[in-house]
Amino acid sequence: MLAKRFLRSVVFATCGIAIFVAAACGVDVDAIRGPKIEELYLVIIRDPDAQLLALEKGQIDLLSDITRPVDIERLASNEELSLSLAQGFHAFFLGFNVRKAPWDRVELRRAIWQAIPRNQLVRDIFSGYSAPLSTFLPPASPYCAEDLEAPPYDLESARRTLQEAGWRYSNGFLVPPGEDLPLKPMKILSPTAQVAPTTAELAQRIAASLRELGLPMDVEPVDFSTLIARLDEHAFDSYVLAWQLARDPDSLYAFFHSSMDVKGGYNICGIHDDELDAALEALRWAPDEEDARLAARRAQKLLSEKVPMVPIYSRYFVTALRKEWKGAVTTRIATADNVWSLLAMEPEGKMRPFYWCLPEEPRNLNPFTASSAYDWQVLGLIYDTLLTADPETLEDLPWLARDWKVETVSSGDGQVTRLSFILRDDVLWQDGKPFTAKDVAATISFLKEHRVPRFWDAVSDVEAVTVKGNHEITITMKNTSYWHLHQIGGLPILPAWQLASLESWQIWQPIRMIHPQKRNLTMLVGTGPFVFSEYRQGEYARLVRNDLFWLMSR
Amino acid sequence: MALKAYWGRRIASSLLVLAVVLVLNFFLFRILPGDPVSAIIDPRFSPQAKEELAALFGLDRPMGEQFLLYVKQMLTFNFGVSFLSQRPVWDEIRSRLPNTLILLSSAMAISALLGIYLGVIAAAKRGGFIERLVLWAGAISFSFPSFFIQLVMLLLFAFAMPIFPLRGSVSIPPPPPGWPAMIDYIWHMVLPVSSLVILGFGSWALYVRNLMVKVLGEDFVFLARAKGLPQRLILWRHAFRSILPPIVTIIFLSLPGVVSGAVITETVFSLHGVGRFLLESVTGQDYPAAGAAFFLLALLTVVCNLLADLAYGFVDPRIGLERKMER
């Protein structure tokens, strides 16, 4: 009942404003020791209804990413479950092709921002389980400038804005300044209702809003591959698309810098603006966090003036957990399905395996080529990174590195970023070997030397790696950027001995190879909290507690 | 000699079909909008990283070189490496085949046998209970979406009355190998198979009933009745035998569908099968996986067509004779 009441309060709170009511409980991550869970099964259940039945029947303990409001309401009324709800990094935008008329006119884009009733859309379509978005970064991002003023919904004001800029109406349709004929019919590209029903419905509602403003808009639903191809070829008027972003604001550079208006780039709108470019370059190459924050704010301010895309909504993430599991970590930006929960949780009474639902199979458990979120849901529990993020503030926290330093130093003609990490000295690999700086150096060098695509952006700017003793490493980059810290700090670290003998990383199947010394291990050896035990294809992955994990109480 | 020439021509035309499929398979996927690299929409994945990925997939090589490699792979049944899993495609298909074959072949065999039997009986006893059942079952199989029936079955027999499992083909943790594992597997397959039988037998029964109703009005059946032959003999030895060729055709032409799988059934019951593999390969533009899967399907279709031709001769000796006379 409490859960239901809490959720209702969220619904009411989100109906009118973009402020989110958090499920925060105040987390002291320093106090967490674990993992306590001894046996973890990632159970593959594909059908959303079957997932709910399995959760209610107690066949799984945790179900993430519940999206349908009706399901959330149903689970909220189940007294055996607790629901956590958090802001995510999801962002849904309406984008324009600003390379061509009429989208090249900024007053039109601004008017459109005013003419879309974002609050009402969220209320009608998501029953409140989403937040209207007014920023170009999701509100969960620490760099989101939420205080920047976004125009509220006001159709009359939007019409006035256009008329003041010289637009006029002819038979209810807008006529651009200096032209005699009204705008020709235009389309919003959208995925089909079969693939993305909510997006398709939103596209229809947005098109209806734009028609009210006087734009002859209609929706063109297309297959997802066609949608992406059309965007890549710039063959569109406008489009709607949802993005899963990250805590860093580097998406702004990818989305809006003129150098990204290339094949395979993400400047889909095609905005080329010197002022914006300068702000985005300042953001991308910011030497430290303070400069990065200022640059992120400046870029968002310019974007809210130039409006190459219109932010529409950001959806919440909802996770259900069986109440018999205690100690889950939930914050305003993290539901219970996080690594902190897996470290801290234990059942009431006798220990038993923990069952976590995977909606798709992890098809690739090779850390070099794994790409899907489901692959990394498994691999992320086995491999560790140098740094992690606080689940409440998203600030950097020590992980394999207990301390670090970001410096800007002179090198040749200019300045470059130098990252220094001091590593923990109590970390062991799952095969019992000590973890050292050589492992970190070997991982970075391997990824760079072999140009591994998934990690290429993180390591391509590495100039030199220097190891001092067993637990100190310095990485000198080719240029200056604060974000190098997160890119290098977020790399999964592999054992140096393994990398030294690895030939075909592209088709490496570590889960099918037995560890040369430890017969109970595969070659999937990390320093993470769980050890890979078995993957039964299409059925489940079994992991067991890593008793050598450095956060275990010893 | 004439028969040999006939089969020679049939095999040659089948090989031609396969060659066309082989070529189309390569080019159709590549002329579809988008490609496996541009399908990645992650702002953290730069255009440079995408170029590296294209190189990893071999998509940076000239098209001619890619085509020759593809033909070699298909003809040697070494289908290359899946873009999505970076595992050999053949391994991927092989791991999924058992579930799909067992699910769909057993469902097809049971539905066909049950449907044929009920169809014959329904035609023989017009207006009776069996005929009404057949008409209803036919209506259900054509009017209800499979996921609906399957979800209702899950709700009833795995949730409300938990007699069967909710997901997969194995319990977690799995039982010991041998009989316990086999019994566990059968237990997991009961719901998916029976759902397909419920959805499938009606159309078989309706089809056979309609064929039988027509045949039962023919002169040779009146003659058999006039000769005083028993009803069972008339039904099964005379009437049913005469409708066997179209039934055999349908059975053989349904076989490729057994391999291509049932995407919805595999999704609802979380089964690791070929159907979803095909779907994911096409939607994920996994060229090697999709190419191999469609090539194998085409091969199976061609083989099944040949087998159907061969089977006609067995079920209806007149056909073999006609062919000989035609030559």
What pLDDT, in 10s, does the model give residues A123-181?
Answer: 999 888 899 998 999 989 999 998 887 889 999 999 999 999 999 999 899 999 999 99
Q: Which of A167, A135, A166 is nearest to A151 (CA)?
A: A135
> Which runs of E-coded beta strand occur in A123-234?
130-132, 168-170, 173-175, 186-191, 217-222
Non-local CB neighbours of B287 within 8 Å, separated by 6+ positions: B29, B30, B36, B57, B83
- Distance CA(A133)–CA(A304), nearest Å, equals 12
Answer yes or no: are the C-beta atoms of A159 and A213 closer than 8 Å: yes
At A352 the pLDDT is 96
Tens digits of residue pLDDT in A90-131: 999 999 999 999 999 999 999 999 999 999 999 999 888 899
Find chain B residues with C-beta within 8 A of A226's C-beta. 33-34
Facing residues of A128 across strands?
none
Beta strands A130-132; A396-398: pairing state: unpaired
Quote the tokens at residue B135: 């008409």
- What sign results for the dihedral spanned by CA atoms B190, B196, B197, B198? positive
The pTM score is 0.89
Q: Which of B289, B255, B252 is nearest to B94 (CA)?
A: B289
Which whole number is the average pLDDT over A8-12?
Answer: 40
At A336 the pLDDT is 95
Rg of the Cα trace of chain A?
Answer: 25
Task: Compute CA B130 distance to the chain's CA centroid, rounded to the nearest angstrom.
Answer: 28
Find chain A residues with C-beta within 8 A of B87's C-beta. 363-364, 507, 509
Using CA atoms, how far residue A530 sits from A357, A376, A398, in Å, is 17, 13, 19
When CB atoms are compared, the residue of B40, B51, B166 closest to A53 is B166
Quote the tokens at residue A251: 């998406």
Quote the tokens at residue B271: 């089964």
At A9 the pLDDT is 40
The residue type found at B204 is W
Find chain B residues with C-beta within 8 A of A46's C-beta. 266-268, 270, 276
Is A543's pLDDT higher than 90? yes
Non-local CB neighbours of A387 within 8 Å, separated by 6+ positions: A396, A397, A398, A399, A400, A401, A404, A485, A486, A489, A490
Using CA atoms, how far residue B257 sits from B22, B197, B248, B304, in Å, is 19, 15, 15, 11
CB proximity under 8 Å: B 53-92 to A: 53, 55-56, 81-82, 84-88
Residue contacts between A and B (CB atoms, under 8 Å): 161
- What sign results for the dihedral spanned by CA atoms A50, A56, A57, A59? positive
Q: Which of B115, B102, B134 is nearest to B250 (CA)?
A: B115
- Distance CA(A447)–CA(A459), nearest Å, equals 7
When CB atoms are compared, the residue of B46, B174, B270 closest to A47 is B270
Question: What does the CA dihedral B71, B77, B82, B87 come to, rounded to 10 degrees?
Answer: -150
Which chain B residue's Cα is nearest to A358?
B270
**B44 Cβ under 8 Å from any chain A Cβ:** yes
At A13 the pLDDT is 38
Tens digits of residue pLDDT in B128-173: 888 888 888 888 777 788 889 999 999 999 999 999 999 999 999 9
Query: Could you say which DSSP state residue A93 is in?
Result: E
At A22 the pLDDT is 38
* Inter-chain touch B56–A262, beta carbons under 8 Å: no
**B41 Cβ under 8 Å from any chain A Cβ:** yes
Range picked from A262-266, B6-10, B269-273, B315-319 for highest mean pLDDT: B269-273
At A14 the pLDDT is 39
* Inter-chain touch A49–B53, beta carbons under 8 Å: no
- Distance CA(B279)–CA(B257), nearest Å, equals 14
For the ranges A470-479, A521-530, B92-101, the lowest mean pLDDT is seen at B92-101
Q: Which of B146, B164, B166 to mutate to test the interface with A (most CBs of A within 10 A)?
A: B166
Non-local CB neighbours of A503 within 8 Å, separated by 6+ positions: none
* Inter-chain touch B154–A224, beta carbons under 8 Å: no
Query: For residue A411, what pLDDT band results from cuts at 50, 70 and 90?
Result: confident
Q: 3-state DSSP call for residue B8?
A: helix
